Amino acid sequence: MSSLVERAIVLLSVELGHEKSVVATLRKVKCVEVREVYGVYDIIVKITAKGHGQIDAVVRKEISCIREVKLSITLRISDSMSLSENHNLVLSEMV
């Protein structure tokens, strides 16, 4: 098994009025951080997982199966991406 750390941000839109229950459900997942936000998306999920394919498994098995999730967009964070320190700061403060 690889020791590679995979990271992703998942943006979620959920059924109106179900934001808090979806956040509570997702907070039970070991490798995620969850924040409720306001705007186009309702919830931001940061996934940090070890091993190949774990991001996909979390999205499929833990997020996509929640009935109240209407839309999810997964943004993978690549270690090879050259992000400025300001972008890293904004991203870390987001989640």
Would you kindly state where each structural domain of the chain is located, as residue ranges?
A: 5-79
> Span 76-84, mean pLDDT?
66
- Residues paired with 44 in a beta bridge: 11, 35
pLDDT band at 78 (very low <50, low <70, confident <90, very high): confident
**What pLDDT is recorded for position 92?**
56
Rounded Cα distance, 67 and 87, in Å: 33
The residues near 33 (Cβ < 8 Å, ≥ 6 apart) are 45, 46, 48, 95
In the 8-state DSSP scheme, what is residue 41?
A: -
Looking at domain 5-79, which CATH architecture does it have? Answer: 2-Layer Sandwich (3.30)
Is residue 14 within 8 A of residue 42, CB to CB? The reply is yes
Rounded Cα distance, 68 and 35, in Å: 16
